[in-house]
């Protein structure tokens, strides 16, 4: 090997080492800025480093409150109320708006909110939505803690999460798990996409916070999977995604209720057999299986066995998308639907009604 070749070889090695060192410094700087390394790895004395979520808990936990709902016996109104329910809630803003589950405060005559710093408030109900099992409360107080909210990065299967609440009135408790699945629907309203987690959610956790490892709110804990009368304990628990909960909260604060559109149909996805029988070009659309005789669809002469392929100019890939668009449509609005009937396309105008909320 000549001197020139030797110098070229050494130069490449030195350049490679410098590139790797620069990359290491950039990655380290990135994680320092994101506070990821410092939030999970913490010094525990004797120069040992352990995995910890303490920083995330410190960011979120003060805003998670205990909720006590009292029921007053109308035949003995002068007596003190009895404990009607027990749950948790999350302070979302400095104005004192609190997100919780509707079933936590349902039928309560008085609702007491207890903060982690010892303060207690009597709250008012701003609004509730039985379909999503969400309610917004409001308290009046100074220097209220609020929870960081993450609306931009949807949770993914495998993400580590922490559930914060007041199970069995033991006091604030933190449980840890992962996101086991997303998009779990049909568990309460039929179209609600839940986050599934194995972080323990017990009685009293309802309405509490599901946070990520940065301490940002990603869901409102709402239910544990039960078999018969066994109760929970199966490691299958559910939370309402914060993007949906935040949207519902805004509507409840604005209107006191959630206004949804209604078309008055039942439908199901298209399968290959149905596509062949009805002479459909593909599996897109929703097969109409039932029509409410007093609803907008009946007035627009929509019929069972029609296949809805477009709603207000937008292609309809499946049932969930169609039901979402109908719910989001302002009642009274006229929209155009494209349907396939007996192999031929038709365009039907329909005026959307307001959906009647049934409180079970």
Distances 190 to 63, 65, 186, 242, 297 between C-alpha atoms, Å: 30, 29, 4, 18, 20
Catalytic residue among 39, 123, 129, 133, which? 133
135 belongs to the catalytic site? no
Tell me, yes or no, if 206 is annotated catalytic: yes
Question: Cα 284 vs. chain centroid, distance in angstroms?
Answer: 27
**Active-site option among 39, 69, 135, 206:** 206
Q: How far apart are CA 88 and CA 102, in angstroms?
A: 11
Catalytic-role residue among 69, 88, 103, 129: 103
Q: Report which of 168, 235, 253 is spatially closest to residue 206, judged by C-alpha positions.
A: 168
Active site residue 103: yes
Q: Which of 286, 282, 244 lies closest to 263, judged by CA?
A: 286
Report the sign of the C-alpha dihedral through residues 206, 213, 225, 156, in that order: positive
Phi, psi of 305 (to 5 degrees): 80, -5
Alpha-carbon distance of 56 to 45, in angstroms, equals 20
Residues 272, 283 contacting (CB under 8 angstroms): yes
Whether 204 and 87 have beta carbons less than 8 Å apart is answered as: yes
Residues taking part in catalysis: 103, 133, 206
């Amino acid at each position: 090997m000549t001197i020139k070749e030797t110098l070229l070889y050494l130069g490449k090695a030195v350049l490679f080492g410098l590139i790797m060192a620069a990359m290491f410094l950039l990655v380290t700087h990135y994680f320092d800025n994101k506070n990821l390394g410092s939030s999970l790895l913490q010094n525990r004395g004797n120069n040992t480093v352990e995995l910890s979520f303490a920083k995330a808990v410190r960011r979120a936990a003060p805003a998670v409150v205990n909720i006590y709902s009292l029921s007053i016996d109308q035949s003995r109104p002068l007596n003190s109320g009895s404990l009607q329910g027990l749950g948790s809630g999350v302070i979302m803003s400095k104005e004192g708006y609190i997100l919780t589950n509707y079933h936590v405060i349902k039928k309560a005559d008085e609702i007491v909110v207890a903060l982690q710093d010892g303060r207690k408030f009597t709250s008012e109900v701003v609004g509730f939505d039985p379909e999503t099992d969400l309610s917004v409360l409001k308290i009046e107080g100074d220097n209220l803690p609020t929870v960081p909210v993450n609306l931009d990065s949807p949770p993914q299967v495998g993400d580590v999460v922490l559930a914060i609440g007041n199970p069995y009135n033991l006091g604030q408790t933190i449980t840890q798990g992962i996101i086991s699945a997303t998009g779990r629907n049909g568990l309460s309203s039929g179209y609600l996409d839940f986050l599934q987690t194995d972080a323990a959610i017990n009685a009293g956790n309802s309405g509490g916070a599901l946070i990520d490892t940065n301490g940002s709110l990603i869901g409102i804990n709402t239910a544990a999977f039960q078999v018969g009368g066994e109760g929970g304990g199966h490691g299958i628990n559910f939370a309402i995604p914060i993007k949906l909960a935040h949207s519902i909260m805004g509507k409840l604060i604005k209107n006191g209720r959630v206004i949804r559109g209604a078309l008055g149909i039942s439908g199901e996805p298209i399968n290959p057999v149905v596509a062949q029988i009805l002479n459909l070009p593909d599996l897109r659309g929703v097969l109409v299986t039932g029509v409410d005789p007093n609803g907008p669809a009946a007035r627009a002469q929509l019929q069972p066995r029609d296949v809805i392929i477009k709603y207000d100019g937008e292609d309809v890939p499946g049932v969930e998308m169609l039901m979402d668009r109908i719910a989001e449509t302002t009642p009274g609005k006229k929209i155009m639907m494209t349907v396939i009937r007996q192999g031929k396309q038709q365009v039907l105008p329909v005026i959307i009604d307001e959906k009647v909320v049934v409180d079970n």
